[in-house]
Amino acid sequence: MVLSLICPTKDPQPWMAAIQAIAPDVDLRVWPDDGDRADVTFTLVWAQPQGIFAQYPNLQVISSMGAGVDNLLQDTSIPEQVTVVRMVDPRLVSQMGDYVLAAALNHGRQFSRYGQQQRQRQWQPLAPLNLDQITVGVMGLGQIGQAVAQRLGQVGFSVVGWSRRAKAMAKVQVFAGPQQLADFLSASKILVCILPLTPETENILNVETLGQLPPGAYVINVARGHHLAEADLLALLDNHHLAGACLDVFRQEPLPQDHPFWSHPKITLTPHIASLTDPVSVAPQIVENYRRLTAGRPLLNPVDRRQGY
Ligand code: NDP
């Protein structure tokens, strides 16, 4: 039984070291030099070459190296019987909380506007805002979104949330499904997108939905670039409906040099670093799933392939 790492865009060494440190008995290989592929039952993958799984006749488990599985599930070579699992990790969750909190506070305390004033040597106090007057809307109330919503609430923001199915959360008003999206959007002065990318959520941040945010709203996208219709965002920033945006993810990454986001005065951007998987932190769940596969027990953090997340 071999565990093969297929991650052409990531350095496999820290992952190998983290797994070997706690499970020296696991037979680890790295694609493309992973020997006889008939021996491989478990793969740990990120940005795999499309179609690669057809080369692994005895594959049983594919584990994403991250929380998102959108790219992985587009691969039509994943056999029906293979189980797909993903990372669910407290460190990933808390990093995302830090990022969203920083972006929301940066906007709430008007640091971007003071930055513009500083460059113009302009001493101009702006009307202060209390955090409880700012309602943050969190789209996607999964492992990460729920924790982010709670964290924003703890520092004093009013928080509402939106997910596919209704759910109860302390101190967060939860809206559910397409029929409650408009009410959710009209309440959100800061909109945070932490949805998985699926056919239903692709381009969900568009002129129609962003246009339903209150005037002067702020958008934070930490999910996937394909959630955002980029030209629609630019139009709504330029006609002053939106005050600004903080973006960590883009339709094309790295963001092309000539992309208008780079120099837009109302956009803050980061290079897809909102929350990074730490191999040491997630190695125990990878090894646990490998052991569960060996013992024929149900795996941790399975993905519903039909649902797409
Ligand atoms: P989960 O699968 O735990 O949660 C997904 C949430 O989105 C659920 O609340 C789900 O609703 C909701 N949802 C899914 N589809 C819809 C829909 N059509 N309409 C309304 N709500 C929907 O995901 P995570 O919280 O673990 O991660 C979310 C995403 O964050 C990842 O898929 C990844 O793309 C992104 N991410 C980005 C990172 C970065 O560095 N920028 C790092 C880590 C993750 P319900 O609860 O009803 O099922």
Write the pLDDT tens digit of every residue in 75-105. Answer: 999 999 999 999 999 999 999 999 999 999 9
Ligand 1: centre distance to CA 5 (Å) = 24
Probe residue for ligand 1, chosen from 163, 191, 281, 301 as the CB with the greatest number of ligand atoms within 8 Å: 163
Task: State the distance from the centre of ligand 1 to the C-alpha of 177, rounded, in angstroms.
Answer: 14
**pLDDT at site 186:** 98
- The structure's pTM equals 0.97
Residue having the nearest C-alpha atom to atom 37 of ligand 1 = 223
Nearest to 234 by CA among 258, 252, 210, 253: 210
- pLDDT above 70 coverage of the chain, percent: 100
User: Mean of the per-residue pLDDT values for the chain?
Assistant: 97
Q: What backbone phi and psi angles, to 5 degrees, belong to 107?
A: -75, -45
144 lines ligand 1 (CB under 6 A): yes
Predicted local distance difference test score (pLDDT) of residue 294: 96
**Could you give the dihedral angle defined by the CA atoms of residues 193, 199, 200 and 206, in that order, rounded to the nearest 10 degrees?**
60
Is the pLDDT at 162 greater than 90, yes or no?
yes
**Ligand 1 centroid – CA 183 distance (Å):** 20
CATH class for the domain made up of 90-269: alpha beta
The mean pLDDT value for 48-65 works out to 97
Q: What is the mean pLDDT of residues 51-75?
A: 97
Q: Which amino acid is at 54?
A: A
**Best probe residue, ligand 1, of 164, 249, 301 (max atoms within 8 Å of C-beta):** 164
Indicate whether 32 pLDDT > 90. Answer: yes
Virtual torsion, Cα 153, 178, 165, 212, nearest 10 deg: 0
Rounded to the nearest 5°, which phi and psi values hold at 88? -125, 115
Q: Is the CB of 95 under 6 A from ligand 1?
A: no
Q: Is any atom of ligand 1 closer than 6 Å to the C-beta of 238?
A: no
What average pLDDT does range 261-268 have in this prediction?
96
Ranges for all domains in the chain classified under CATH 3.40.50.720: 2-89+277-295, 90-269
Report CA-CA distances (Å) from 146 to 42, 157, 211.
Answer: 30, 14, 25
Atom nearest to 166 CA in ligand 1: 47
The percentage of residues in the chain with a pLDDT greater than 90, rounded to a whole number, is 98
The model's confidence at residue 250, banded by pLDDT at 50, 70 and 90, is very high
Of the pLDDT bands very low, low, confident and very high (cuts 50, 70, 90), residue 127 is: confident
Question: How large is the average pLDDT for residues 234-248?
Answer: 98
Residues 141-157: what's their mean pLDDT?
Answer: 97
Report the atom number in ligand 1 closest to the C-alpha of 140.
7
- Asked whether residue 128 carries a pLDDT value surpassing 90, the answer given is no
CA–centroid distance, residue 217 to ligand 1 (Å): 22
**pLDDT value for 261:** 98
Active site residues: 224, 272
Is the per-residue pLDDT at 133 higher than 90?
yes
Asked if pLDDT for residue 135 goes beyond 90, the answer is: yes
What CATH code would you report for 2-89+277-295? Answer: 3.40.50.720
Distance from Cα 204 to the centre of ligand 1, integer Å: 13
Q: Which of 32, 73, 265 is nearest to 4 (CA)?
A: 32
Residue among 144, 203, 228, 276 whose CB has most ligand 1 atoms within 8 A, to mutate: 144
> Taking 90 as the threshold, does the pLDDT of residue 45 lie above it?
yes
Cβ of 277 less than 6 Å from ligand 1: no
